[in-house]
Amino acid sequence: CLGISIPVVNEILRLNEDPNVQGLALDLPESLYSSKVLNAVKPEKDVDGVNLGRLVHGDAYDCLVPPTACACVQLEKSGSACK
């Protein structure tokens, strides 16, 4: 699995730097969802919300925010709960 993840990480890093790529959505086999692969995605291009550090810290102004994650943060801030 580690041997396979290296080319995946390299491709993610390449796509991160490509100005023609506005966002990355990972559609990988479960065996490839490692922290190394997930952390390779730049928050600015993270469509899936695999790298939510900026969102959690309130720095979401320069990154893609997945709708579900955004809704959860808004609910948390408002003190509302789903019933």
Exposed / middle / buried, residue 15 (Cβ in 10 Å: 0-12, 13-18, 19+): middle
Q: pLDDT digit of tens for each residue in the chain (83 aa)?
A: 557 788 999 999 999 999 999 888 888 888 888 888 888 998 888 887 776 665 565 655 555 666 777 777 788 888 765 55
Say what the pLDDT of residue 71 is.
Answer: 79
Q: Please give the pLDDT value at position 43.
A: 81
State the burial class of residue 48 (Cβ atoms within 10 Å of its Cβ: 0-12, 13-18, 19+): middle
